[in-house]
């Protein structure tokens, strides 16, 4: 991402009243202007959240160590010591050792059996944040990436066990997007209602629902790509992109993405979704839209960069 696009992105974040600048990659710390971009975001009053795979250069670790903890967070997409190369694991441990409480661990499930016991050891040994972000690998609609093949009748035991162990260690677990109640046992859903219940009363945007902290509603999140185009999320990055025009806010992009993508995706990931009791109770809206799309459209429509007017252009006579 060039400095010009980065500044446009910061302006978009400020204009949309978003308090954080979230830097993702690839590995964002490998960008030659990473330090400058972090400083620029902090100078504009934003909290910086970096999503990293752990390959942080040593000189940058010294810089990040000096940032105030209330203004900076590194979410570490943690490696599995039983699977990934030892050098990567050593790099990640070094990041944890230096940054300590500025680090929150994140784990992305991509297979039915994954080791998670080491997470709690890392949190305690390196005094990391007592919170773990849990995600599941989604299919990229139109791509060929490896992803977690969900099975309606097979609960995510590995995630449920992680929750149980985290509760014993006084560690908070939050679910990322794409989880639905039917992926878990009835006992788990009953014991963790905050993970699924959501207030569906419409807000002023008409499309953005009021969410609980770990609501399972699937909606656009708005990611800005290096060239300045916007996507609804990475799983839907190959179907539609909108330009980041001056004057646009998150509300403008949410409305357009919601309208266009809703027309392309079925109501749920499974045929049972229409009559599901969880859906009727407003605990689910059908799950990940990329997974929904794969039900009826294995091959996506061609990528489109939609014509989109800025507010100034729309108001011209």
pLDDT tens-digit profile of 292-312? 888 777 676 666 655 555 555
Considering the entire predicted model, what is its pTM? 0.85
Give the model confidence (pLDDT) of 139-151 as tens digits.
888 888 888 777 6
Confidence at residue 144, expressed as pLDDT on a 0 to 100 scale: 81
Q: Which residue has the tokens 């809206």?
A: 285
Distances (CA, A) of 47 to 39, 72, 224, 226: 10, 6, 17, 20
Phi then psi dihedrals of residue 92, to 5 deg? -65, -40
| CB 183 within 8 Å of CB 135 | no
Instruction: For residue 97, name the pLDDT band (cuts at 50, 70, 90).
Output: very high
Confidence at residue 92, expressed as pLDDT on a 0 to 100 scale: 96
pLDDT at 205 over 80: no
Confidence at residue 89, expressed as pLDDT on a 0 to 100 scale: 94
Distances (CA, A) of 199 to 55, 176, 248: 39, 18, 27
Rounded Cα distance between 145 and 147, Å, is: 6
Rounded Cα distance between 189 and 181, Å, is: 6
Helix (H) or strand (E) holding 133: strand 131-136
């Amino acid at each position: 991402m060039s400095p010009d696009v980065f500044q446009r992105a910061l302006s978009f974040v400020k204009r949309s009243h978003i308090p954080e600048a979230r830097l993702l990659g690839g590995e964002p710390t490998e960008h030659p202007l990473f330090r400058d971009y972090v400083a620029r975001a902090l100078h504009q009053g934003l909290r910086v959240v970096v999503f990293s795979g752990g390959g942080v250069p040593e000189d940058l670790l010294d810089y990040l160590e000096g940032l105030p903890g209330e203004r900076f967070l590194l979410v570490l997409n943690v490696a599995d010591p039983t699977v990934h190369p030892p050098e990567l694991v050593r790099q990640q441990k070094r990041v944890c050792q230096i940054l300590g409480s500025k680090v929150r661990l994140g784990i992305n499930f991509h297979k039915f059996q994954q080791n998670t016991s080491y997470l709690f050891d890392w949190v305690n040994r390196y005094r990391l944040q007592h919170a773990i972000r849990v995600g599941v690998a989604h299919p990229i609609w139109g791509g060929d990436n490896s992803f977690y093949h969900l099975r309606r009748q097979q609960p995510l035991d590995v995630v449920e066990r992680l929750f149980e162990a985290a509760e014993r260690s006084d560690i908070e677990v939050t679910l990322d997007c794409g989880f639905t109640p039917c992926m878990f046992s009835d006992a788990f859903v009953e014991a963790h209602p905050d993970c699924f219940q959501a207030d569906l009363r419409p807000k002023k945007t008409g499309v953005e629902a009021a969410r609980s902290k770990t609501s399972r509603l699937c909606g656009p999140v708005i990611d800005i790509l290096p060239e300045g185009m916007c996507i609804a999320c990475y799983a839907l990055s190959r179907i539609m992109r909108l330009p980041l025009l001056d004057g646009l806010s998150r509300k403008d992009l949410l409305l357009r993405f919601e309208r266009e993508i809703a027309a392309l995706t079925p109501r749920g990931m499974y045929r049972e979704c229409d009559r599901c009791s969880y859906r009727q109770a407003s605990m689910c809206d059908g799950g990940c839209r990329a997974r929904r799309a794969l039900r009826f459209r294995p091959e996506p429509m061609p990528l489109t960069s939609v014509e989109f007017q800025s507010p100034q252009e729309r108001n011209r006579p």
